[in-house]
């Protein structure tokens, strides 16, 4: 049976910090990133691709703001904005990927899906919104919007004045339609799913699906998807080749090979940045802790050279039932 891998495309795979965000720039970045996964297809892997949407969904929210203020066009809720980026980014990845496959003479179907992800409406994240989204407002604008829309704002850092809306970032608990994703992926179709962490939804007491004004961490949602479809490997592509301890600090050190316990130990010590590497480590731990063989964190350009990238594995004695129980509980 062919190995199944889930590859989470980081934000820099689509749009880089020093770019304006034109479609030409995003297509060029996407094509360059996708060239790096060809070797996996040549080795017989089946693939599921996930992706971020941070800059894009932020732009849509700002377009909503401008449309409402200038032309009285009703704002769309956050779940609709996330779904919109899933469609547009998924289409862009699919089109670029089809062209890359044609260039290399590879025959594969490509399928883009709008993915919903179930969250718990009682998740503590709803009491402490932390995910910043949309444009920066003045204090007066933020107060007016907070009163009229019930939005929550937090002040930006010292280098940037103003206030930004913050929304909850709840834990994903179930990837909807994972069976469809797995079935198509194992049949050889390259599936693009769970974009931007998925559209967060919950079920009310009557069993109806309801939207949730939130943003799910894309790496954690991708990890959960990888676990649900029983993938062998999980790749998180970012803008650095390795995981580092004390990144850019005086004691910076490459952590190339980590087993589950060591990764947890470093995470608990706080050596990974909460806003950068820590969520990726948590996602990798979730995957290997729920049966995955290996999780690799690296940059796209180093993917083919398997000597690069930081690898997290379980490395446990399969007869150690107590440790197996512990890893699932974690």
Q: Which residues are catalytic?
A: 11-12, 131, 218, 280
Paired with 244 in beta bridges are 254
Region of 278 on the Ramachandran plot (φ > 0 left; ψ -120 to 50 alpha; else beta)? alpha
Distance CA 329, CA 290 (A): 9
Distance CA 250, CA 228 (A): 40
63: tokens are 């377009």
């Amino acid at each position: 049976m062919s190995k199944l891998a889930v590859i989470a495309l980081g934000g820099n795979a689509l749009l880089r910090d020093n770019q304006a965000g034109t479609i030409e720039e995003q297509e060029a970045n996407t094509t360059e990133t996708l060239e790096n996964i060809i070797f996996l297809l040549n080795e017989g892997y089946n693939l599921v691709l996930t992706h971020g949407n941070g800059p894009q969904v932020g732009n849509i929210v700002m377009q909503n703001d401008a449309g409402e203020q200038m032309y009285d066009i009703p704002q769309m809720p956050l779940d609709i904005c996330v779904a919109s980026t899933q469609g547009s980014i998924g289409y862009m990845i699919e089109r670029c990927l089809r062209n890359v496959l044609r260039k290399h003479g590879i025959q594969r179907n490509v399928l883009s899906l709008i993915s919903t992800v179930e969250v718990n409406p009682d998740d503590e994240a709803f009491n402490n919104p932390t995910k910043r989204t949309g444009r920066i407002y003045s204090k007066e604008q933020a107060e007016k919007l907070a009163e009229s829309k019930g939005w929550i704002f937090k002040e930006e850092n010292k280098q940037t004045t103003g206030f930004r809306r913050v929304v909850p970032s709840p834990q994903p608990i179930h990837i909807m339609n994972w069976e469809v994703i797995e079935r198509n992926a194992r049949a050889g179709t390259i599936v693009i799913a769970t974009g931007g962490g998925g559209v967060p939804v919950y079920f009310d007491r009557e069993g109806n699906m309801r939207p949730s004004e939130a943003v799910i961490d894309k790496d954690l949602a991708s990890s959960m998807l990888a676990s649900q479809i029983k993938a062998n490997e999980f790749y998180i592509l970012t803008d650095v080749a390795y995981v580092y301890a004390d990144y850019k600090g005086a004691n910076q050190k490459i952590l190339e090979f980590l087993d589950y316990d060591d990764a947890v130990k470093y995470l608990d010590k706080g050596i990974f940045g909460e806003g950068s590497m820590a969520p990726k480590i948590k996602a990798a731990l979730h995957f290997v802790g729920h049966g995955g063989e290996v999780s690799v964190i690296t940059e796209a350009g180093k993917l083919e050279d398997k000597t690069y990238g930081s690898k997290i594995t379980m490395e446990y004695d399969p007869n150690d039932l107590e440790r197996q129980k512990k890893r699932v509980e974690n």
